[in-house]
Structure 1
Amino acid sequence: MRPLPGERSRMRAVRALFIRYGAERTPEGRSLRLLREWLSPMQRTQFAKKGYFEVVGGDTGKLYRIYPGTMSNVCEIDENGRPRLGLCFRTMGELPVGDVMLAQKIALENCESSVLAVARSFVPNVFMFRRGRLLG
């Protein structure tokens, strides 16, 4: 038996609600909610629209862009807004992506020189940070 036209849209709406609110009950969903709470209004908007957010280093004032991910997801940004240098640093242990990104944000803003001392650098390329599914 085929659903009626109105039932299809209702089923889609119910499915979307389940995906949205069901996902928030997972560790991944809770970590992203916590991350959004810690972002400034500007960072929150940037994360929702572009899939990344930018932070200013607490020691040097350099601009860093944090992409969704748990490692090799941070780039120093040049004066033209392009990734200049990639940084690989992460937390100890397995954590949800939002928790790792929040730790990276706090570390860059408060102890940037310590982060730079332990981070491995790499040359970023456009394929590494392609826009994927938005998490914000």
Structure 2
Amino acid sequence: MLLFGAQRRAGSRLQTLRELYASFIGENSPEARGRHLLREWLSPVQLAQFDEHRYFDVVGCDTAKRYHINYGTAANIHELDGAGTPRVGWCFAPSARLVPGDVMLAQKIALETNENAALSVANEFPPRMAFNR
């Protein structure tokens, strides 16, 4: 009886160690690191939007237009009208293969610091019909 209890405790410790290792690996994946870096650069309002909806809004530095950046790496930016309705979609991203958090951070920085240059290389697309604000 005592032996079985020791084996059970050892098995429980091993299971706990496996779960801890899996958690560590998950938190150190490229995608997790990209999300962490993005979160560090977001304003409190943007961070609240991102946590609740997986998107955040930025204001362009050249035109003061508002853009909605959705979680993703392509075709994930919408220019909003005064009522917050998508007017047009924009697609631009770094040329390297990056995780979504890194791409979204690059898009945020580009729109907030060099909006016209970013849009000059972007592809325009019609906004999606289903849009959650």
Superposition TM-score tier, normalisation by shorter sequence: 0.7 to 0.9
Question: Which of 73, 83, 86 is the matching residue for 1:83?
Answer: 86
Give 1:37 deviation, angstroms: 0.2
Do the aligned partners of 1:56 and 1:108 also contact (CA within 8 Å) in 2? yes
Gaps of 5+ in 1: 1-10, 132-136
Identity of aligned residues (%): 50
Q: Larger radius of gyration, structure 1 or 2?
A: 2
1:49 equivalent in alignment to 2:79: no
Residue 94 (structure 1) aligned with residue 86 (structure 2):
no
TM-score by length of 2: 0.79
More helix per residue: 2
**Partners of 1:83 and 1:109 in 2: CA distance:** 19
Per-residue displacement from partner, 1:6-31 (whole Å, max 9, x unpaired)? xxxxx9xx96x877654221000000
Deviation at 1:51, TM superposition (A): 1.3
Q: Distance in 2 between matches of 1:44 and 1:130?
A: 17
Q: How does 1:1-136 map to 2 (within 5 A)?
A: 21-127=24-130
Give the length in aligned residue pairs: 117
Please list the CA deviations of residues 43-83 of structure 1 after superposition, one character each: whole Å capped at 9, or x if unmatched. 00010011100000010000000001111000001111111
Cα contact 1:24–1:33 (8 A) shared by 2: no
Post-superposition offset of 1:124: 1.1
For 1:125, give the aligned amino acid: R
Residue segments in structure 2 that go unaligned for 5+ positions in a row = 1-14
Distance of 1:56 and 1:121 partners within structure 2 = 18
